């Protein structure tokens, strides 16, 4: 299934196959042509990834709209040909939860501002200076759909943990060190899961290669 050109709201864009979401680019979208195409390529990778990483458990009770699944498994090659050690996955999983709780650069800056204003009130400082050169400006605290920036929030993370031992969940093997995520989905997205249109998680992020 190829990447196709499309039109949405009078703007040009790309989509994955005939039924994909049209990701537009140009003035008013905040994306270049190349960035839009890259997003669609990520969606394609996510579709292929779902063939290998399925939900371990999903609620049959549609009022719960819950799934549990593996985000990343140690030393297992993904669709990009990459893999990660257990300690790397653990660090990424812990960092993700810290960001969900707001314990990231944003919180650090808020604390710095508070401390500075206290000093201003006491006459111990005469200006406000905050260094944001290392701030994580791409923090996203919700679960989206198929790496699309236009999907908005379709789910909320309610569980995140690392498998402490090799185990089985509902008959499915889970390797020690795997990162698992439990998510509550909105009604529309959960229907896609029940129908088989969405079958698993897809991790999006950046990393450094190590030889």
The predicted-structure confidence for 187-196, as pLDDT tens digits, reads as follows: 888 888 888 8
- Give CA angle at 110 (105, 115), nearest 5°: 125
- The pLDDT assigned to 177 comes to 94
Model confidence, pTM: 0.55
Q: Which stretches of 101-137 are DSSP H helices?
A: 105-121
Q: With contact defined as beta carbons under 8 Å apart, do 115 and 104 qualify?
A: no
pLDDT at 161: 93
Query: What per-residue confidence (pLDDT) applies to 200?
Result: 73
Chain CA centroid to CA 80, Å = 16
**Nearby residues of 66 by Cβ (< 8 Å), 6 or more positions away:** 57, 58, 59, 158, 182, 183, 184, 185
Over residues 85-132, the pLDDT tens digits come to 889 888 888 888 877 776 555 566 667 777 777 777 788 777 666 555
Give the helix/strand (H/E) hosting 68.
Answer: strand 66-72
User: Which parts of the chain register pLDDT below 70?
Assistant: 1, 19, 42-54, 77-82, 102-110, 127-142, 144-152, 202-211
């Amino acid at each position: 299934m190829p990447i196709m050109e499309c039109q949405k709201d009078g703007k040009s864009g790309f989509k994955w196959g005939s039924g994909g979401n049209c990701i537009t680019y140009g003035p008013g979208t905040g994306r270049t042509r190349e960035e839009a195409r890259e997003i669609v390529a990520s969606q394609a990778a996510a579709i292929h990834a779902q063939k290998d990483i399925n939900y371990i458990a999903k609620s049959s009770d549609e009022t719960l709209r819950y799934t549990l699944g593996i985000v990343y498994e140690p030393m297992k090659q993904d669709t990009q040909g990459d893999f990660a050690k257990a300690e790397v996955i653990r660090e990424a999983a812990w960092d993700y939860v810290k960001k969900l709780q707001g314990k990231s650069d944003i919180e650090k800056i808020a604390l710095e501002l508070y401390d500075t204003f206290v000093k201003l009130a006491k006459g111990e400082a005469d200006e406000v200076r905050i260094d944001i050169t290392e701030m994580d400006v791409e923090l996203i605290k919700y679960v989206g759909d198929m790496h699309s920036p236009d999907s908005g929030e379709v789910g909320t993370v309610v569980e995140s943990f690392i498998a402490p031992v090799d185990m089985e969940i509902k008959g499915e093997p889970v390797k020690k060190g795997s990162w698992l995520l439990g998510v509550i989905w909105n009604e529309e997205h959960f229907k896609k899961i029940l129908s088989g249109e969405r079958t698993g998680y897809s991790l999006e992020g950046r990393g450094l290669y190590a030889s």
